[in-house]
Structure 1
Amino acid sequence: MKLDDAYANAAHIEGAEAYPPRWEAQARAFREGLGARAQTGVSYGPSDRQTFDFFEPEGVSRGTVIFVHGGYWKAFDASSWSHLAAGALARGWAVAMPSYDLCPDVRISEITAQIATAIGRIADRTVGPLALAGHSAGGQLVCRMTDPLVLPVEVRDRIEAIVPISPVADLMPLLETSMNEVLQLDAAEAAAESPVNMPPPHGVRVMVWVGADERPAFIEQAERLARTWGARRVTPEGKHHFDVIDALADPQSDIVSALVG
């Protein structure tokens, strides 16, 4: 369809097929290295995919970072990204990573509700501030958490920072892609689930990340979200859609500092 190539990331990344198995191997090794500090498969809802992994820092936690994975709402789960918790853990923050049901089994609006439930359960078992990061579709999902109708106010008020990474902030263009056969978006849902149509959150640090080597559509999406929300946009040179998230594993990186202060 008209916009298929605009939103095709793997087709424009050299060696794209090697990334998913590499992520899985790094994530597995990281969990094994944490031992008892890694709790996997904590249930937050009725389906098998409604679980989150929880990683504890050494000592008392300063707060909790919640990372929501991408995959166009139709691929992956939390188990591929555990290693990205390393940066925040080293800074003394706990890290939670939820999975969720995928399209076409559910609609994107239902995934939004699932992530809200997951964040509520994570908030119940933690104290202190929350910081949200999400990649690609996950960037859309963490932005939706600022909607007053999505999270209870007592949970939303604990969110200090949101870092959408290469977010899909406007879902309307996806209606003109073949992936919509799976997503099953209509115009009403696309508009309602688009962060660019939401008022900017108050009292929350928002920094939008997008790689300089990403597809133009993703750079435009990030620019529009940053402009609409009055947020800072960061565009690291030489980074594309698959490696822009790597810095989350580095405790000294700017992206980790944006999350945990």
Structure 2
Amino acid sequence: MRDWDDAYANGAHVPGSEKLPALWAERAAAYRAGLTGLRTDIAYGAGERQRLDLVMPEGTPKGLVVFVHGGYWMRFDKSTWTDLAEGARASGWAVALPSYTLAPAARIAEMTREIASAITTAAGLVEGPIRLAGHSAGGHLVSRMMCDDGLLSETVFARIVSILSISGLHDLRPLLKTKMNDTLRMDDAEVSAESAALHRPRPGPALTAWVGGAERPEFIRQAELIANIWTGFDVAVRSEIEPGHNHFTVIEGLTDKGAPITRALLGLG
């Protein structure tokens, strides 16, 4: 029998990973301290964690990027990742970073609807095209915005030109076999409803499933899975394996406007 807990245990396979959360928080705080175009804690709902930060570029934004953080739907918030806005900001894009209610206080189905509300609120603050990105659980959440159950209004969805799911989870059914599900509390009905790979995609945006070549094999499988299945619906979808990166380093390129992952996010190649 496959050890599904190990399949998703990123930290156990990256030496020194226990030190990373403090490092991420320190980097993000230092970045915020140097920003002038920053709006914090913009409400998109009544919940305590239903808040987003907005990083503005110099001049009129080319459009809006929304970055949704990971943490297996159980950890972190927007303030840990502010510096990941830099690549897009330096390229002239506004970047929204939402928090969302975490498990066990919320079910994953509730989180997807919170992210839809966050995107809608951010879209009302910045004109132009919208590009979505998310990492790990955040990759799942942004992929869900492209699904046929219509989480976003036609008006907002029509503005979305691309979605970048970084190390995203697109088929949640294996998670039923993990200890994480003691907190996530998913059942068969919820994993079916919340797995992007089990939905038809709404036509319009292009989806890129980006993953590090040194990640756990399950994350590479998940990236290739969504690209394989959604290709059958004649939408623009592809998977991209970036060599040498693990689950934690794969997002670091978002701080650099010239990095391949940032260029992919912004439709530059």
Tell me the TM-score normalised to structure 1 length.
0.97
Q: What CA distance in whole angstroms lies between the structure 1 residues aligned with 2:244 and 2:263?
A: 20
Give the superposition deviation at 1:203: 2.2
- Matched with 2:62 is 62
Contact (CA 8 Å) 1:201, 1:229: kept in 2 or not?
no
Aligned positions, number: 260
**1:44 CA displacement:** 1.0
* Other-structure match for 2:145: 145
- Quote how far apart the aligned CAs of 1:107 are: 0.3
- SS of the equivalent of 2:15 reads coil
Report what 1:80 is aligned to: 80
Q: CA deviation at 1:50?
A: 0.6
**Structure 1 residue 201, shift from structure 2 partner:** 3.5
Structure 1 residue identity aligned to 2:11? A
Write the distance in 2 (CA, Å) between the matches of 1:182 and 1:150: 24
- SS of structure 2 residue aligned to 1:244: helix
Q: Residue 66 of structure 1 contacts residue 96 of structure 1 at CA under 8 Å; is this kept in 2? A: yes
Matched, 1:113 2:113: yes
Q: Which runs of 4+ in 1 moved over 2 A?
A: none
Match of 1:232 in 2: 238
Check whether the contact 2:146–2:205 (CA below 8 A) recurs between aligned residues.
Answer: no
1:246 pairs, out of 232, 241, 252, with 252
Q: Distance in 1 between matches of 2:208 and 2:3?
A: 30
The CA distance in 1 between the partners of 2:158 and 2:11, in whole Å, is 37
| Contact 2:164–2:210 (8 Å) recurs in 1 | yes
> Matches of residues 98-109 of structure 1 in structure 2 within 5 Å?
98-109=98-109
Task: Give the match for residue 135 of structure 1.
Answer: 135
| Residues 195-214 of structure 1 mapped to structure 2, 5 A cutoff | 195-214=196-215
Residue number in structure 2 paired with 1:161: 162
- The higher-RCO structure (CA 8 Å, 6+ apart) is 1
- Which amino acid counterpart does residue 240 of structure 1 have in structure 2? N
Distance in 2 separating the partners of 1:194 and 1:80: 26
Q: Secondary structure at the match of 1:79?
A: helix
Match of 1:188 in 2: 189
Maintained 8 Å contact 1:49/1:100 = yes
Task: Please report the RMSD computed on the Cα atoms of aligned residues, expressed in angstroms.
Answer: 1.1
Superposition deviation, residue 41 in structure 1: 1.0
The Cα offsets for residues 42-62 of structure 1, whole Å up to 9 and x where unpaired, read as 111111111001000001100
2:15 corresponding residue in structure 1: 14
Higher alpha-carbon deviation: 126-135 or 144-153: 144-153
Mapped partners of 1:255, 1:163: distance in 2: 9
Q: Structure 2 unaligned segments of length 5 or more: list them.
A: 232-236
SS in structure 1 opposite 2:111? helix
State the one-letter code of the partner of 2:162: A
Q: Distance in 2 between matches of 1:140 and 1:98?
A: 15
